[in-house]
Amino acid sequence: MRRSSPGSLRRAFQPWNDPNAKPLIEFRGVTKRFGSVTAVSEVSLSLYRREFFALLGPSGCGKTTLMRMLAGFEQPDAGEILLDGVDITAVPPHLRPVNMMFQSYALFPHLSVADNIAYGLKREGLPRAEIARRVAEMLALVKLDGLGKRRPDQLSGGQRQRVALARALAKRPKLLLLDEPMAALDRKLREATQFELMDLQSELGTTFMVVTHDQDEAMTMADRMAVMDHGGLVQIGPPDVIYEAPVNRYVAEFVGDINVLEGKVVAVEGDLVRIETALAGMVELDEEAPALSIGAAVLVGLRPEKIDLSHDEPAQSFNKVAGEIWDIGYLGDVTMIQVMVGGDSGRLIKVALTNRTRRAARPFAWEDRVWLSWDIEAGLVLPR
Amino acid sequence: MSAPAAFAARWSRLVVAVPYLWLLLFFLTPFAIVLRMAMSDADTALPPYAPHFEGFATLREFISKLDFENFRLLADDALYWDSYLQSLRLAGQTTLIALAIGYPLAYAMAAAPRHWRPVLLVLVVLPFWTSFLIRVYAWIGILRPEGLLDMVLGGLGLTSEPLRLLNTEAAVLIGMVYSYLPFMVLPLYATLEKLDRSLLEAAADLGATPVRAFLTVTLPLSLPGILAGAALVFIPSVGEFVIPDLLGGPDTVMIGKVLWNEFFSNRDWPLASTVAIVLLIVLVLPLALLQRARLA
């Protein structure tokens, strides 16, 4: 099932939709096995110049292996990897115009910050003055001026991360790989660093590929992201498409929270789809060019923030269901309410309410009988 | 400082005092006795030396009689100079050869699959389970004319006549490298095994060839292991007595052998003690300087 992106969230930068755009990186049917385990299976993927791409997936899904093959640390068992149209599959890592920022940072402990940044430049055989100039430039870029003489063990975690970034960027690679770049930072620093990284990327125009298991990180930074599972790419697209139009239940549940209801297609009229669900009766939703046949068994996905909660029964005749509040989780910005629908042995539906007023004014309490309702733009269809 | 902190500080000082006391008793005291001996005169009595010091009353007299006569004797006699130099040279050669063999060995062990490493470690330590003396004797059987080595080389048609290795300096080197190699391999293995592999990947990623990555990352990071291994091989090699005695010829005069001769053949304890103290100074001074350089 293919979907196009919701119109209102389209961005100007979309080389992947341009048939004339030449990809910077191309994976063609790449497979990698470790013994009997297939880490990456038949992955084909194109990255474009200046793109910020995120590979998202749970640990063990093959995202790190895919990245390591791009850096040259692993050899694919089948398929080929192209950079600027040239096959680099057999090129050893030290000859690839690709640099990587390691999850552990892998800073050389016996070298100063400046020497760490200069390491790659020295290997290029650049003149001394040019190296010094570029090291100073890099230190300024990551806001570490004056710390060039320090050893890595004399720096904080956040500073070490910047040194690793500066070292990887110093050679001006065509592609920068970032392996879980924020994993070792605390939450506040992580948010700030995410935006700094995005600024840096648009300033330098380097193509970035980041591997992460953190969906917030991927969605914040990436132009496009790929969701991986069991060595394969499940869906590739801009974050809003992945979130609002996931191709299957795995993607829908991995990226964000979602309530899933089983149902059967009853009617398709233009973009309008009617689905009869066991739990919530008739559900109507708006789907762009749906390719659904009457009677098909499908899943209806409802994101928690797209559901309304009320004490009185809504006027609409569909897209509503009654239930009882079982749990209220106060998270500060939002409150997650779990509503039991379909009697005591029914199903818990998650509803997210934005806390627009102070706590005392909130109208819902445990064991309240409430109505859930949602717009026809809220639900999405997933294959069963 | 609060009362518990003061108590803890006093207690910790007491704990540290125990090893210091141990060192004082079993290292410094014997050293003082040897030093006193070195500054005494030889005698044919039992014990075969004449102590100048027999009580606090004679302290003045004792100090006035202490002299550096033996040290002067040592400095003037070319025999001692030559044997010190030969010992240092042979120990240096032993250390270099042990490093040349031990580094690749330790590197291969550290790179071996994880489940193989304990086995390889046991193999390195295995020779220690038999007597050192017996192993050196075994080398006589290997190196002597018509011995195991000659038989193998002759049998392969590589040599037509005996090598005559036994009782040469080469035999001493072989014996010392063999005996002290584990002391080089173990500290090297310990540092190489700890080396973070992602550092080598980072070096490759930044454009370093495998050789360059070794020279700029692996080698400098294994320097502590190299220094420890070199010290562990060099120090006992300088004073080595058994190996040159059993495998060496008349022209290998190492200081350990000279010491033995002075002590037991010539019964000149003061001179033997002097030889020992000079050896200690020769070994301790460079090590102390090295330590200072590392701390600086």
Tens of pLDDT, residue by residue over B160-175, are 777 788 889 999 999 9
Note whether residue B3 is domain-resident: no
Note whether residue A141 is domain-resident: no
Note whether residue A154 is domain-resident: no
What pLDDT band is residue A361 in, cutting at 50, 70 and 90? Answer: low
* Closest Cα in chain B, distance from residue A345 (Å): 52
Tell me if A92 and B204 make a contact (CB, 8 A cut-off). Answer: yes
Tell me if A94 and B202 make a contact (CB, 8 A cut-off). Answer: no
CA pair distance A60, A255, nearest whole angstrom: 17
| Structure tokens, A315 | 């006027």
Range A18-25, long-range pairs (CB < 8 A, 24+ positions)? A21/A48, A22/A85, A23/A47, A23/A48, A23/A82, A24/A48, A24/A49, A24/A51, A24/A83, A24/A84, A24/A174, A24/A175, A24/A207, A25/A70, A25/A81, A25/A82, A25/A83, A25/A175, A25/A207, A25/A209
Average pLDDT over residues B5-34: 84
What Å distances lie between residue A317 and A130, A283, A284, A305, A320, CA to CA?
Answer: 72, 10, 10, 21, 8
CB < 8 Å to A71, chain B: 201, 205
pLDDT value, residue A319: 94
Same domain as A191, residue A70: yes
Residue among A305, A314, A315, A316 nearest A353 (CA): A305
* Closest Cα in chain B, distance from residue A277 (Å): 52
The separation between the first and the last C-alpha atoms of chain B, rounded to the nearest angstrom, is 31
- Sign of the Cα torsion A247, A252, A256, A261 reads positive
* Closest Cα in chain B, distance from residue A33 (Å): 19
Note whether residue A119 is domain-resident: no
Note whether residue B33 is domain-resident: no
How many contacts does A have with B, using Cβ atoms within 8 A? 60
> Does the pLDDT value for residue A124 go beyond 50?
yes
Average pLDDT for chain A: 91
Same domain as A280, residue A243: no
- Tokens 């803890």, residue located: B8
Note whether residue A189 is domain-resident: yes
Residue burial A1-39, b: 16+ Cβ < 10 Å; e: rest: eebebeeeeeeeeebbeeeeeebbbbbbebebeeeeebb
Cβ neighbourhood burial of B276 (10 Å; 0-12, 13-18, 19+) = buried
Provide the residue type at A300 as one letter: V
Average pLDDT over residues A270-284: 91
A77 touches A71 (CB < 8 A): no
Same domain as A235, residue A297: no
- Tokens 């240092």, residue located: B88
> Does the pLDDT value for residue A77 go beyond 60?
yes
Tell me if B217 and A92 make a contact (CB, 8 A cut-off). Answer: no
pLDDT value, residue A191: 87
pLDDT value, residue B53: 57
Between residues 180 and 239 of chain B, which touch chain A (CB distance below 8 Å)?
A: 196, 198-199, 201-210, 212-213, 216-217, 220-221
Inter-axis angle of helices A157-169 and A187-204, to 10 degrees? 20
Residue burial A71-88, b: 16+ Cβ < 10 Å; e: rest: bbbbebeebebbbeeeeb
Average pLDDT over residues B37-59: 68
SS3 A101: strand
Average pLDDT over residues B123-133: 91
Q: Which of A253, A274, A295 is the last residue of a domain?
A: A253
Same domain as A201, residue A65: yes
Task: Among A4-13, A334-343, B214-223, name the one with the lowest average pLDDT.
Answer: A4-13
Cβ contacts of residue A249 below 8 Å, gap of 6+? Answer: A260, A299, A301, A382, A383
What Å distances lie between residue B176 and B85, B189, B260, CA to CA?
Answer: 17, 20, 18
Same domain as A377, residue A264: yes
Which residue in chain A has the smallest CA separation from B204? A94
pLDDT value, residue A8: 35
> Does the pLDDT value for residue A301 go beyond 90?
yes
- Sign of the Cα torsion A162, A168, A174, A176 reads negative
A94 touches B207 (CB < 8 A): yes
Provide the CB-side half-sphere exposure for B72 (13 A, CA): 6
| Domain limits for position A200 | 7-97+173-253
Same domain as A230, residue A288: no
Note whether residue B16 is domain-resident: no
Same domain as A365, residue A292: yes
DSSP A267: E
Note whether residue A47 is domain-resident: yes
Report the domain count for chain A: 2
Report the domain count for chain B: 1
What pLDDT band is residue A2 in, cutting at 50, 70 and 90? Answer: very low
pLDDT value, residue A297: 93
Note whether residue A122 is domain-resident: no
Same domain as A378, residue A275: yes
Query: Across the interface, which of B201, B210, B213 has its CB nearest the CB of A73?
Result: B201
Same domain as A272, residue A244: no
Cβ neighbours of A48 (radius 10 Å)? 19
Q: What is the CA radius of gyration of chain A?
A: 25
A16 touches A224 (CB < 8 A): yes
